[in-house]
Amino acid sequence: MSNFLTSTTTANPNKSFEVAQPPNDSVSSLSFSPKANFLVATSWDNEVRCWEIMQNGINVASMPKASISHDHPVLCSTWKDDGTTVFSGGCDKQAKMWPLASGGQPMTVSMHDAPIKEIAWIPEMNLLVTGSWDKTMKYWDTRQSNPVHTQQLPDRCYTLTVRHPLMVVGTADRNLVIFNLQNPQVEFKRITSPLKYQTRCVAAFPDQQGFLVGSIEGRVGVHHLDDSHQSKNFTFKCHREGNDTYSVNSLNFHPVHHTFATAGSDGSFNFWDKDSKQRLKAMARCSQPIPCSTFNNDGSIFAYSSCYDWSKGAENHNPATAKSYIFLHLPQESEIKGKPRLGASGGRK
């Protein structure tokens, strides 16, 4: 335990690479370009920033490239699949389309009646989807001013994940709404979260056969869609220390090995293999929570932010000492490649 005690006082105990010129306030989302090592971060300082990440063997450098502003804090971001364009949404109740590659000016492509909490580009449909605290989700053709379709949700949208044709939306009151995007205007299924506390994040399986869900109570659920596979469902505890439980803020599948990362308000990130039900690697705790994280397109870089997440309110925020970091970790194969469970029989998993 001595290692835990010493690491809590360290901003960067895992000796990750620090991104230059980070945001001035807490980071709300991180998104890598699907085509190249360009990283976008959104922040409560109303800014959307982009860095070029240069990897040379075991060394990584970052260079700030460009930024745009919203009128209010920005909560979410995503890239178009061709890597040319960034979409961002937030507390100004609108989503902006930023043609980063061409150097063009951002334009508003989506409007809601309350802040936009989640955003995703669906390349198979050539549509943008936005989820809001106004209890709706809207699909947008970015060439038109009105949504293609508005989907009523049971409550405020907290999180969503898309791997066509699967989309899962997590809302307040522990609703999980599942869509088959081949018929996007109809709910495929609605379930109550297998976790007893508020949903914080979801991530669709790479094979679209199910999803992960993380809650504020340091727990992750592994859920399969097929009724015949319900026996494979399970939940596990993580991001806990003694009697303290912390929120699971981020779930990211590795693009190659299909293992996944969790990041939490305890300041740590871990790598897991759901098929063998094993934790592959537990990283040392940072001195601040990790509100968001993401892999780059080939899984060679894991980006995560360390900053105050306001989970303990304004009284625990000290502007004089608060600093937001974005770190880049280079995962070793042993950390992210799944392995058979020790002692497993020769049968199928």
Q: Which two tokens stand for residue 182?
A: 């081949």
Q: Supply the pLDDT for residue 320.
A: 77
Closest CA to 159 of 145, 147, 146, 176: 176
For tokens 């007893």, the residue is 196
Q: Distance between CA atoms of 316 and 322, rounded to whole angstroms?
A: 10
Other CB atoms within a 10 A radius of the CB of residue 286 amount to 26
CB 120 within 8 A of CB 89: no
9 band by pLDDT with thresholds 50, 70 and 90: low
103 φψ region: left (φ > 0), alpha (ψ -120 to 50), beta (else) = left
ω before 64 within 30° of 0 (cis)?
no
**Cα→Cα distances 21→45, 90, 145, 188, 308, Å:** 13, 22, 35, 44, 17
- Cα distance between residue 241 and residue 115, in whole Å: 33
Position 210 pLDDT exceeds 60: yes
The pLDDT value recorded for residue 343 is: 56
**CB environment 267-278: b (16+ within 10 A), e (fewer):** bbbbbbbbeeee
Query: What integer is the mean pLDDT of 213-223?
Result: 98
Each residue's pLDDT tens digit, 280-310? 999 999 999 999 999 999 999 999 999 998 8
d(CA 81, CA 34): 6
The arithmetic mean of pLDDT across residues 240-259, rounded, is: 97
Q: Which of 8-12, 25-29, 263-267, 313-317 has the lowest mean pLDDT?
A: 8-12
* pLDDT band at residue 340 under the 50/70/90 scheme: confident
pLDDT of residue 4: 35
For 95-117, give one letter per residue: b (16+ CB within 10 A) or e.
Answer: bbbbebbeeeebeebbbbeebbb
Amino acid at 29: S
Residue 348: predicted pLDDT: 39
Instruction: Judge residue 347's burial from the number of C-beta atoms within 10 Å of its C-beta, 0-12 exposed, 13-18 middle, 19 or more buried.
Output: exposed
Q: Which helix (H) or strand (E) holds 149?
A: strand 149-152
* Strand bridging mode 260-264 / 269-273: antiparallel
CA distance 127 to 123: 7
212 and 222 Cβ atoms separated by less than 8 Å: yes
Residue 201 identity = C
The single residue listed with the structure tokens 């709404």 is 177
Query: Looking up tokens 């809590």, which residue turns up?
Result: 8
Pairing of strands 59-69, 107-111: unpaired
